[in-house]
């Protein structure tokens, strides 16, 4: 049955006298009807919602607005909400990562079809991999593609020093996420899902993990949970098994890096396609966050020096990041040698002696001699 998720949630909210759930899922239903050009039905529900809010819904005894829950001790909010209209985070992924993520998104977009066949929807996804590779951005992308609010858990508020409070906060957050269509995102997931057999941890960790498991199990199939971690091996086995989709976010490939150069530099370069490919090759093996850091440093240095951003500026920032210049080295020859050796080792086919010479502002003959010396 089409729109079964929204209708089910509306009925569930009405039976529980939960105005927020009724309103939020009715709005979601209206949005889907409009997308399907069911204008007449969408207008009818919109009119019902506006007319009945003051009468029928107010009799439920709840507020129209849904306040974000807070920690009972510190009063700090447990999450931030990013609504679709404010979700404009740029996401660049490798081809493989993009295809895997698309599979998860399509799974949810076809929830009505899957539910009608009794198959059910895979609604839990864990993203893992090295830091800075775009796991958080993936959560933004999922929410944007599904036109849903992104509910981002705030670990600094969620985790409490008071006994039992962290488990209580987790339960409160999950209950809140059930009241509206949204993507619940738990970043740095290992902080609350670490293996319970860790001898260095106290009993509180076991209570937290048990609470997490109970709340994940209690989630309805139409709710979405996305978690991210840099340390998947630290996770409790039972928690790991709860996630139907497991996606390793790899370091960006050459095509993704090339896109990142344009995105992060915001057009502040005059690199040719060939020069961008060369620079992207030098960036292989780095995370997206590191690439952004290097590019912004290059632009920042150029602005400070009141000069246009040049090709060499990006390479100088890369050299600095990799700390390739020997300490206390003041010899221009040795500095040039270190830079030439670094580029040559990145990829000999891409960084020919002539290409290196052009980048470093030297002659092919000089670079040839320096590379030969460096390899002796």
What pLDDT sits at residue 52?
Answer: 55
Any idea which of 6-15, 84-93, 137-146, 257-266 has the lowest mean pLDDT?
Answer: 6-15
User: Cα separation of 182 and 21, whole Å?
Assistant: 11
Neighbours of 254 (CB within 10 A): 13
* pLDDT bucket at 58, cuts 50 / 70 / 90: very low
pLDDT (tens digit per residue) in 234-243: 999 999 999 9
User: Has residue 123 got a pLDDT over 70?
Assistant: yes
Residue predicted with more confidence, 282 or 8:
282
User: According to CATH, what is the number of the domain 67-248?
Assistant: 3.40.50.300
CB 245 within 8 A of CB 126: yes
**Residues 323-339, mean pLDDT to the nearest whole number:** 87
- Computed over every residue of the chain, the mean pLDDT equals 86
Which two three-digit tokens encode residue 302?
A: 């150029």
In SS3 terms, the chain reads as CCCHHHHHHHHHHHHCCCHHHHHHHHHHHHHHHHHCCCHHHHHHHHHHHHHHCCCCHHHHCCCCCCCCCECCCCCCECEEEECHHHCCCCCCCCHHHHHHHHHHHHHHHCHHHHHHCCCCCCCEEEEECCCCCCHHHHHHHHHHHCCCCEEEECHHHHCCCCCCHHHHHHHHHHHHHCCCCCEEEECCHHHCCECCCCCCCCHHHHHHHHHHHHHHHHCCCCCEEEEEECCHHHECHHHHHCCCEEEECCCCCHHHHHHHHHHHHCCCCCCCHHHHHHHHHHHCCCCHHHHHHHHHHHHHHHHHCCCCCCHHHHHHHHHHHHCCCCCCCCCHHHHHHHHHHHHHHHCCCCCCHHHHHHHHCCCHHHHHHHHHHHCC
Which two three-digit tokens encode residue 71?
A: 């920690």
* pLDDT bucket at 61, cuts 50 / 70 / 90: very low
Hey, where are the domains in the chain?
A: 1-64, 67-248, 254-374
**Residues 211-223, mean pLDDT to the nearest whole number:** 87
User: Has residue 201 got a pLDDT over 70?
Assistant: no
Strand partners, 245: 125
User: Has residue 338 got a pLDDT over 90?
Assistant: yes
What pLDDT sits at residue 200?
Answer: 57
Percent of the chain, pLDDT > 70?
Answer: 89
**Residues 313-330, mean pLDDT to the nearest whole number:** 90
This prediction has a pTM of 0.78
User: Cα separation of 217 and 363, whole Å?
Assistant: 66
User: Has residue 65 got a pLDDT over 60?
Assistant: no
Residue predicted with more confidence, 111 or 152:
152
Query: Sheet containing 124-128: which strands, arranged edge to edge?
Result: 79-82, 150-153, 183-186, 224-229, 124-128, 245-248
Residue predicted with more confidence, 175 or 122:
175
**Residues 78-105, mean pLDDT to the nearest whole number:** 89
Residue predicted with more confidence, 357 or 2:
357
């Amino acid at each position: 049955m089409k729109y079964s998720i929204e209708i089910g949630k509306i009925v569930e909210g009405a039976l529980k006298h939960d105005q927020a759930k009724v309103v939020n899922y009715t709005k979601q239903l209206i949005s889907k009807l409009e997308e399907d050009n069911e204008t007449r039905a969408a207008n009818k529900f919109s009119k019902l919602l506006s007319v009945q809010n003051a009468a029928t819904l107010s009799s439920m005894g709840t507020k129209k607005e849904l306040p974000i829950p807070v920690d009972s001790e510190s009063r700090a909010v447990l999450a931030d909400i990013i609504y679709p209209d404010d979700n404009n985070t740029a996401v660049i992924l490798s081809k493989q990562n993009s295809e895997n993520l698309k599979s998860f998104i399509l799974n949810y977009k076809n929830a009505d079809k899957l539910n009608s066949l009794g198959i059910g929807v895979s609604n839990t996804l864990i993203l893992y991999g090295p830091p800075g590779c775009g796991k958080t951005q993936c959560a933004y992308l999922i929410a944007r593609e599904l036109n849903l609010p992104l509910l981002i858990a705030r670990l600094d508020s969620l985790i409490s020093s008071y006994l039992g409070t962290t488990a209580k906060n987790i339960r409160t957050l999950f209950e809140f996420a059930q009241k509206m269509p949204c993507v619940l995102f738990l970043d740095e997931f290992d902080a609350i899902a670490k293996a319970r057999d860790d001898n260095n941890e106290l009993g509180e960790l076991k209570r937290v993990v048990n609470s997490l498991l109970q709340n994940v199990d209690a989630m309805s199939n139409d709710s979405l949970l996305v978690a991210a971690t840099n340390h998947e091996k630290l996770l409790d086995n039972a928690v790991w098994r709860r996630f139907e989709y497991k996606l390793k976010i790899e370091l960006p490939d050459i095509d993704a890096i090339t896109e990142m150069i344009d995105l992060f530099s915001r057009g502040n370069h005059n690199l040719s396609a060939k020069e961008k490919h060369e620079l992207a090759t030098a960036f292989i093996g780095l995370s997206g966050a590191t690439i952004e850091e290097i590019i912004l440093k290059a632009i920042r240095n150029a602005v400070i020096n009141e000069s246009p951003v040049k090709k060499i500026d990006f390479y100088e920032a890369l050299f600095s990041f990799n700390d390739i210049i020997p300490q206390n080295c003041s010899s221009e020859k040795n500095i040039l040698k270190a830079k030439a050796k670094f580029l040559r080792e990145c990829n000999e086919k891409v960084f020919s002696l002539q290409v290196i010479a052009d980048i470093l502002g030297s002659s092919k003959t000089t670079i040839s001699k320096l590379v030969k010396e460096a390899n002796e």
